[in-house]
Amino acid sequence: MVSSLLFEITLIGLLGIGSQWLAWRYRIPAIVAMSITGLLIGPIFGLINPEENFGPLYSPLISAAVALILFEGSLNLSFKELRGLGKPVFRISTVGAFIAWILGSLTAHYIAGLSWPVAFVIGGLFIVTGPTVIMPLLRQSKLKPRPAKVLKWEGIIVDPIGALLAVFAFEIIVYITANDPDGAALLLFFAASIFAGIFGWACGKGLGWMFETGHIPEFLKSPAVVVVVIFCFTGADLIMHETGLLSVTAMGITLANMGVSSISDMRHFKENISVLLISAIFIMLTASLEVETLLQVLSPNIIGYVLLMMFIVRPLSIFLSTIGTSLSINEKVLIGWIAPRGIVALTVSGYFATVLLDAGYADASILTSLTFALVFFTVVAHGFSIGWLARKLGLSMEGNPGTLIVGSNPFTVELAKSLAKSKIPVIITDSSWNKLRLARKAGVPFYHGSMLSEQTEYNLDTMPYEYLITMTDDHAHNSLVCTTFIPEYGRTNVFKISPYTQLENGYSSGVVSKVGGRVLFDKKLPMDILNEKLEAGFVFRQTKLTAQYNYKTYLADKADTTVLLYLVKPSGQLKFYSEEMRTVPAVGDTIVSLTPPDKEQEKMKEKLETQRNNG
């Protein structure tokens, strides 16, 4: 076993991020990779045991991480997202949660063999899914917006509800089994829950007000958010265990709906922190399991319980709770299947296992095994099946990577038409209805609005588009749009048209060339030059590389004035040309270029001559 705590912390970080990278590289569910990694270095090979080595710091660290993860998730819950989905989300989070609690408790008693008190505690807890498992799955599966939003809202809202249901069930048990029942504990539970919600709302309102009025400088805003989140969680949790989850959720939702600009600016920072925490916590939790726990997972009653929870309890609770809502049958099937359990279930069940054992319920000893079995089987089953099932049900945005073009003009319209010809999803956006007439006339998909508008964020579905290119006449606007969307699309997928202008001694563009995305095509090709080439008769041309006609031959054959635009690989992968990126086409790739008219005429003559000779 590793003897250095510092090295163990480093190892957890490296393996967590390494698991995320492997999942991205080989397109497997990240939570599956992290869980397996934790099992390998923990109970299987015995390299580390975080719970034992961290000692009294283990539980507080896990709790603080869970609070930050849940807050980051709730910070994405803007009520504007619920247009048309408010009713199903409310039903699933209330009626659906209650049905899942009752059915899960019955299953725990009759199948897992738990006593009624323990069954109702664990039944309440196991309604949770949570952002730690839902968010990675949504990123991986590319669901259409409606089911993705329902799963996201449910996962974040039901997380604290599940923990509170477990606490409520335990308080009811204590009240019923006491020799001298005292209703004060139940009243304290309800009062503490109400206080947690109000406390979280107050923390959110207060922090938002301080941000908006400039009472906190920019460099302190991110640290202030982290500290206040932990304070909000701890303050509520001191009064009643597990109400801290409700408090940070209320805080996040409050800030998300205040329209605080600073929060939007920090969202990607908090997402990065969340990814790091999820990676580390999953490794720590699975590495802390005992070998006996893993062996106990294989018992028939535990496996039977897990299967019933996955195939009966979850689908039934979703179908019953969404009767009369706007969800389609396919959406109900998908949502009814996807319910992976994660960090909250593992951490809270450990707490209740200890409490119930101390209260004299010996059967609570299997709670850790039961929880891990449900977490692992749901994570693996739902992680590997969500993409396949979404495609089968027509709820996936899978396909060739699309391109979102900002700016409507003759060149962008022709570029969009060529992308569509290559079966690449494409859309043109512009705030000018007059400029969009070219796109409308050409039959190219378009959106009327500014990419930087909050309204566009909610009205334009950007899921099908993996590339963003800005090609307006306003170079500062292009750079601003690129800077705004780099965290979302990635630095290699955001481009802007050249802002450079030719001078006697070279090219100059000012500060706008230093910020934003990569320069598209060539810095010698600003927007006006490309449009002039179109007016001069240049045409879009596709050339497929073969073993006989390779890239080297193509470069030697093309005209000097030809502009290399992008290439499409046989897999459908798209790559735009840029001086700032190395592009190496291979056999089978199709190169799309802007070709001078004389070169195109030569190609046409050669084609006609070949046809005559063959005839």
Tell me, which fold does domain 5-392 have in CATH?
A: Na+/H+ antiporter like fold (1.20.1530)
3-class secondary structure, 508: strand
Confidence at residue 329, expressed as pLDDT on a 0 to 100 scale = 93
Residue 423, judged by CB atoms within 10 A of its CB (0-12, 13-18, 19+), counts as exposed
Mean pLDDT by 10 residues, the chain (615 residues): 78 89 78 84 88 86 82 74 76 90 92 89 83 71 80 81 80 74 75 90 91 83 87 89 84 82 62 77 84 84 92 93 89 90 77 81 86 87 86 76 86 88 86 88 87 71 80 84 78 82 53 65 83 86 84 82 85 81 81 78 55 54
State the Cα–Cα distance between residues 397 and 409, nearest whole angstrom: 28
Strands 590-595 and 563-568: antiparallel
Q: Which CATH number fits domain 402-614: 3.40.630.30, 3.30.70.580, 3.40.50.720, 2.40.50.140?
A: 3.40.50.720
Q: What is the model's pTM? A: 0.69
Confidence at residue 566, expressed as pLDDT on a 0 to 100 scale = 87
Q: Which helix (H) or strand (E) holds 247?
A: helix 243-256
- Angstrom CA distances, 603 to 553, 556, 595, 598, stand at 15, 15, 11, 9
Task: Specify the domain boundaries for CATH 3.40.50.720 within the chain.
Answer: 402-614
Amino acid code (one letter) for 443: G
Q: Which two tokens stand for residue 403?
A: 């391109």
Confidence at residue 219, expressed as pLDDT on a 0 to 100 scale = 80
One-letter-per-residue 3-state SS of 148-185: HHHHHHHHHHHHHHHHHHHHHHHHHHHHHHCCCCCCHH
Task: Specify the domain boundaries for CATH 1.20.1530.20 within the chain.
Answer: 5-392
Other CB atoms closer than 10 Å to residue 224's CB: what's the count?
Answer: 18
Q: Which two tokens stand for residue 246?
A: 């409700």
